[in-house]
Chains A and B, each alone.
Chain A
């Protein structure tokens, strides 16, 4: 491009990705915001065009409508697996948000959340408070009220509704290698049951768990919001912690976290000191379902429940993991797996999107809830905390009896029914 309007910005570095777009439009129908908002500015092709226009200088980075349309992207990356040219849309979006960040700060609530997530001394009490709150009837009582507070309460209420299971003690044989798990901020804060279940089911399937002290938030939310420096700082800390663990694999049970960790190499591509270390670490990252599927997984005890599966965007689109979660579910005897229409469509959670762009988020969630209702399943399995809370909250508010659950929790309950 002759004469770049925004030299030396993350967006300028993303030009090759932008150039790969031939404007064919095959992405349009995959995009939840385009289908709902019906304006090409809110489509992948349109947003890429805006990015290009920013670089050409035909629009300015402080233009409110450009910021709006970039903000309104869910970052679900459903456009990536349909793109014939292989445009790395997720990376372009992060680069754009990082570039625009200077011209307009992130909304207050988002800044607050990101600030907290980056600091463990704040994160722990915040999560403790949330967990304590979730254990009370307050969230459920408040979940019916209108607006974001009601939705936030419903999200909290949904975290307290996992499946009952008895204790069992998994036997470690460890023939499949050592695994360190990413504990994650939200997962450890609100879904600690799932984290423990993850460790147990991996153990049952022949992995031996090792600790990785010093690990931090994965940085995904920061990267998605364009706070790339914060994300890089967190990534470096995690690289150190997981290198030190010596584990063969790093297991992640949150799809959003897994996606960014698999892309640490890209995140640190301009940092000569860390780039190779990041690439090496990324190569060892696996979604928990991938490790389980590689091991079979082992069959458990009977669990006669009706389950449907919703694919987290960051698992199916970003990590391209399609089959593994299904093989986790089908390993459970007695479990009836019913297909979910549009299971590969975004639920509207998109990290903290549902707290910042509530209207679009609701519009995207509505058809998801209707499809879930149609399955008559009692559980919706999905492997990402954002989706668990978004769908969980939606189900509570729409008074649908199904509950959202991590696939690992179902497998764990099956092993518990077996007594291991």
Chain B
């Protein structure tokens, strides 16, 4: 019945209701988590999307918005509810070269937007490693980052305005396409709301002029510790690199085995990929400073990419590192904690100790300049004992990051994966304040239920007018899943 009604809106080819066809929508980029949706619907136009949301509102059906499904927190999983895929809304609506802004639909792929604006000497700065596949709508939902966010800021700093359909079906404009607006920063509140506040159907982003000069440096080290200290030293020097990325030996070798082999030194225990950009004169001077910091800090060698082709190669290796880890073991889990940058050497030592303690293989590849760690553990979920060790190791690493004054997620979002950690960094009243904010955008908690804030932290959950208790109880079930516990794929 629901499927037929949705098919009337979007056409039968774009509604999936067979169990076997819904299978591929039961995980995102972190397939350790699986939830089987009941239905999937893919609107092809903005009007269809609005009609779908209004229909779901009328039927009071919960749903999960989904972009390209490349998220790494289980945020786009739908547990027996409706998936609303927005990947078909892929029009670049307008490009204003003079004022450096573009308006796009949510399904536009990040890299495609960049290719579209590149001939005009412009770029869209947030560059998550999944840029070749992820959508701008998904980037907004997760407040996505990327290597170059060190200097340029995350999605939040680059989205000016959005047309949003709230879960109730109401259309609202957040932010302003033409300038800065008075009043509450609803735009800021919406970005990073992980699909819990509604769907952005039109997104106006700020574009950045291509820098006049770019230099990419590759510094290699014989120890992780030296690279960590050099990272802290570069940050403390006051130079703001466009990007400052760290890869450890295990990651280097995995990438070098893949088709994205970038020419990283295989025998290094760590490399730093440092990009400087800006005006030619300034970049040349900073390059010399950074080179000296690296060499003083024990770098074996500092190499500068000769041309754009080599630069691209160095970056492709970094950006595809996560995917390349599939060659280590059948399953992969990744964390996203952020720590104060001065704590980097200490925490990396802790991670090493934890990996020894539980004999798991940790590959570290991360945004060092931001202190945004990505420890990846490759393992086999078919081995229950190993899975248990991996789980314990991840929890211990996370606890160390929290104890260092860090955050549980820098760019991947809370989703399902980090739900259990929310209470260790936020008080009950803070979590409740988040629930209340969500309740304003989505009083019935129908949009991406059970994500970001643990339901039991919402003190007025059962008191929401119109939210049937039975439904509330059923939605609560995915939340009770243990955090960070990978489930066999």
A38 to B133 CA separation, bound complex (whole angstroms) = 13
A65 to B42 CA separation, bound complex (whole angstroms) = 17
What A residues does B190 contact at CB under 8 A?
none
Q: Does A115 contact B (CB under 8 A)?
A: no
What A residues does B24 contact at CB under 8 A?
40-41, 43, 45-46, 49-50
Q: Which residues of chain A from 108 to 122 have any CB-CB distance to chain B below 8 Å in the complex?
A: none
B259→A81 contact, CB < 8 A? yes
A41 to B15 CA separation, bound complex (whole angstroms) = 12
What B residues does A46 contact at CB under 8 A?
24
Stretch at the interface among B237-245, B302-310, B323-331: B323-331
Q: Does A59 contact B (CB under 8 A)?
A: yes
Q: Which residues of chain B from 12 to 33 have any CB-CB distance to chain A below 8 Å in the complex?
A: 14, 16, 18-21, 23-25, 27-31
Identity of the chain A residue whose Cβ is nearest the Cβ of B323 in the assembled complex = A84
Q: Does B392 contact A (CB under 8 A)?
A: no
Identity of the chain B residue whose Cβ is nearest the Cβ of A67 in the assembled complex = B20
A87→B326 contact, CB < 8 A? yes
A83 to B109 CA separation, bound complex (whole angstroms) = 18
Q: Does B73 contact A (CB under 8 A)?
A: no
What A residues does B489 contact at CB under 8 A?
52
B323→A22 contact, CB < 8 A? yes
What B residues does A27 contact at CB under 8 A?
133
Number of A-B contacts (CB under 8 A): 110
A38-B14, A84-B260, A86-B327 known; A24 and B70 CB under 8 Å?
Answer: yes
What A residues does B28 contact at CB under 8 A?
23
What A residues does B324 contact at CB under 8 A?
84-86
Q: Does A132 contact B (CB under 8 A)?
A: no
Identity of the chain B residue whose Cβ is nearest the Cβ of A40 in the assembled complex = B24
Q: Does B382 contact A (CB under 8 A)?
A: yes
Identity of the chain A residue whose Cβ is nearest the Cβ of B329 in the assembled complex = A19
A2 to B133 CA separation, bound complex (whole angstroms) = 32
Residue of B21, B133, B255 near A26 (CB, 8 A) is B133
Task: Choose among B21, B132, B382 the residue with the greatest number of A CB atoms under 10 Å from its CB.
Answer: B21
Q: Which interface class (under 10, 10 to 19, 20 to 34, 35 or more) fits B?
A: 35 or more
What A residues does B264 contact at CB under 8 A?
none
Count, chain A residues at interface, CB 8 A: 38
Task: Choose among A26, A28, A59, A66 the residue with the greatest number of B CB atoms under 10 Å from its CB.
Answer: A26
Q: Does A25 contact B (CB under 8 A)?
A: yes
A50→B23 contact, CB < 8 A? yes
Q: Does A145 contact B (CB under 8 A)?
A: no
Identity of the chain A residue whose Cβ is nearest the Cβ of B257 in the assembled complex = A86
What B residues does A19 contact at CB under 8 A?
326, 330
A40→B325 contact, CB < 8 A? no
What A residues does B325 contact at CB under 8 A?
22, 85
Q: Does B69 contact A (CB under 8 A)?
A: yes
A20-B327, A65-B20, A86-B327 known; A38 and B42 CB under 8 Å?
Answer: yes
What B residues does A102 contact at CB under 8 A?
none
Q: Does B224 contact A (CB under 8 A)?
A: no
| Proximity bits, B220-258, A CB within 8 Å = 1, else 0 | 000000000000000000000000000000000001011
A302 to B30 CA separation, bound complex (whole angstroms) = 57
A28-B68, A58-B23 known; A22 and B326 CB under 8 Å?
Answer: yes
A113 to B258 CA separation, bound complex (whole angstroms) = 38
A2 to B384 CA separation, bound complex (whole angstroms) = 11
Q: Which residues of chain A from 279 to 324 have any CB-CB distance to chain B below 8 Å in the complex?
A: none
A26-B133, A53-B23 known; A84 and B321 CB under 8 Å?
Answer: yes
A83→B20 contact, CB < 8 A? no
A280 to B29 CA separation, bound complex (whole angstroms) = 39
Q: Which residues of chain B from 434 to 448 have any CB-CB distance to chain A below 8 Å in the complex?
A: none
What A residues does B259 contact at CB under 8 A?
81, 83-84, 86
A318 to B195 CA separation, bound complex (whole angstroms) = 39
Residue of B14, B88, B322 near A24 (CB, 8 A) is B322
Q: Which residues of chain A from 46 to 89 have any CB-CB distance to chain B below 8 Å in the complex?
A: 46, 49-50, 52-53, 58-60, 63, 65-66, 69, 81-87
Q: Does B320 contact A (CB under 8 A)?
A: yes
What B residues does A69 contact at CB under 8 A?
21
What A residues does B25 contact at CB under 8 A?
40
Q: Does B130 contact A (CB under 8 A)?
A: yes
Identity of the chain B residue whose Cβ is nearest the Cβ of A63 in the assembled complex = B20
What B residues does A86 contact at CB under 8 A?
257-259, 324, 326-327
A38-B14, A58-B23, A65-B18 known; A23 and B258 CB under 8 Å?
Answer: no
Q: Does A39 contact B (CB under 8 A)?
A: yes
What B residues does A28 contact at CB under 8 A?
68, 133
Q: Does A29 contact B (CB under 8 A)?
A: yes
A1-B382, A23-B31 known; A84 and B23 CB under 8 Å?
Answer: no
B133→A41 contact, CB < 8 A? no
A46-B24, A63-B20, A65-B21 known; A2 and B323 CB under 8 Å?
Answer: no
Least CB distance from B94 to A in Å reads 22
Q: Which residues of chain B from 62 to 95 have any CB-CB distance to chain A below 8 Å in the complex?
A: 68-70, 87-88
A24-B130, A29-B132 known; A85 and B14 CB under 8 Å?
Answer: no
Least CB distance from B412 to A in Å reads 13
Identity of the chain A residue whose Cβ is nearest the Cβ of B19 in the assembled complex = A59
What A residues does B320 contact at CB under 8 A?
26, 84
Residue of A26, A38, A87 near B88 (CB, 8 A) is A38
A23→B132 contact, CB < 8 A? no
Q: Does A21 contact B (CB under 8 A)?
A: yes
A63 to B23 CA separation, bound complex (whole angstroms) = 13
A58 to B257 CA separation, bound complex (whole angstroms) = 33
A38-B42, A39-B42 known; A49 and B323 CB under 8 Å?
Answer: no
What B residues does A84 contact at CB under 8 A?
255, 258-260, 320-324, 326
A49 to B21 CA separation, bound complex (whole angstroms) = 11
Least CB distance from B417 to A in Å reads 14
B323→A26 contact, CB < 8 A? yes
A84 to B130 CA separation, bound complex (whole angstroms) = 12
Q: Does B196 contact A (CB under 8 A)?
A: no
Q: Does B332 contact A (CB under 8 A)?
A: yes
What A residues does B332 contact at CB under 8 A?
22
Identity of the chain A residue whose Cβ is nearest the Cβ of B376 in the assembled complex = A22
A28 to B69 CA separation, bound complex (whole angstroms) = 10
B68→A85 contact, CB < 8 A? no
B133→A29 contact, CB < 8 A? yes
Least CB distance from B71 to A in Å reads 9
A22-B322, A22-B323 known; A2 and B382 CB under 8 Å?
Answer: yes
A81 to B111 CA separation, bound complex (whole angstroms) = 17
A83→B323 contact, CB < 8 A? yes
B323→A59 contact, CB < 8 A? no
B327→A25 contact, CB < 8 A? no
Task: Choose among A23, A39, A84 the residue with the greatest number of B CB atoms under 10 Å from its CB.
Answer: A84
What A residues does B31 contact at CB under 8 A?
22-23
A22-B332, A26-B320, A39-B16 known; A49 and B382 CB under 8 Å?
Answer: no
| Proximity bits, A339-380, B CB within 8 Å = 1, else 0 | 000000000000000000000000000000000000000000
A22 to B330 CA separation, bound complex (whole angstroms) = 8
Using CB atoms and an 8 Å cutoff, list the residues of chain A in contact with chain B.
1-2, 19-29, 38-41, 43, 45-46, 49-50, 52-53, 58-60, 63, 65-66, 69, 81-87
Q: A26-B130, A58-B23 are in contact. List 19 more A-B contacts (CB 8 A).
A: A20-B326, A22-B323, A22-B332, A23-B28, A24-B133, A38-B42, A38-B87, A38-B88, A39-B21, A40-B25, A52-B489, A59-B19, A60-B20, A65-B21, A82-B132, A84-B320, A84-B321, A84-B323, A86-B258
Show 8 residue pairs from A and B whose CB-CB distance is below 8 angstroms, ordered by the A residue: A24-B322, A26-B133, A29-B112, A41-B21, A49-B24, A58-B23, A83-B259, A86-B259
